Amino acid sequence: QVQLVESGGGSVQAGGSLRLSCAASAYTVSNLCMAWFRQAPGKEREGVGAIYYGDGSTYYDDSVKGRFTISQDNAKNTMYLQISSLKPEDTATYYCAARETTSTGYCRFLWGAQRQSGFSFWGPGTQVTVSS
């Protein structure tokens, strides 16, 4: 079983930046497709982006492309979400998720076609609050 825990959330002013982290407790992350999701109060959970640890391929939702950057540190089994130019609409609980997979193509499929229903493991979330 893969265990995930997020960190790095907080309260910031609009225009600021945050870097969220998701640490995975796994022997190896080379076969993981990992993703970031977020959920604002009273709204549906939505996808932010994903990364395949096998080759570092990343995928982003159009709503955040250009401001959100996903990266990885294989040595620490950690995925990062760098957020810049924060907007009040970014206020949400941010979750990381993972699914064991074996190819870039399948990770892309999970992100593009399955979204949250395709990921097996979830962290408890970290809160991001952006003030205008």
Nearby residues of 91 by Cβ (< 8 Å), 6 or more positions away: 40, 128, 129, 130
- The whole-chain average pLDDT of the chain stands at 93
CA distance readout (Å), 24 to 53, 67, 81, 85, 102: 12, 24, 14, 27, 17
Nearby residues of 59 by Cβ (< 8 Å), 6 or more positions away: 49, 50, 51, 107, 108, 111, 112
In this structure, what DSSP letter does residue 108 have?
H
List, for residues 72-106, the tens digit of each pLDDT value.
998 888 999 999 999 999 999 999 999 998 888 99
The percent of residues above 90 in pLDDT, for the chain, comes to: 78
User: Whose CA is closest to 71, among 61, 81, 62?
Assistant: 81
Helices (H), the chain: 104-109
Residues 54-58: what's their mean pLDDT? 91
Q: Please check the confidence at residue 27 and state whether its pLDDT lies above 70.
A: no
pLDDT band with cut points at 50, 70 and 90 for residue 10: very high
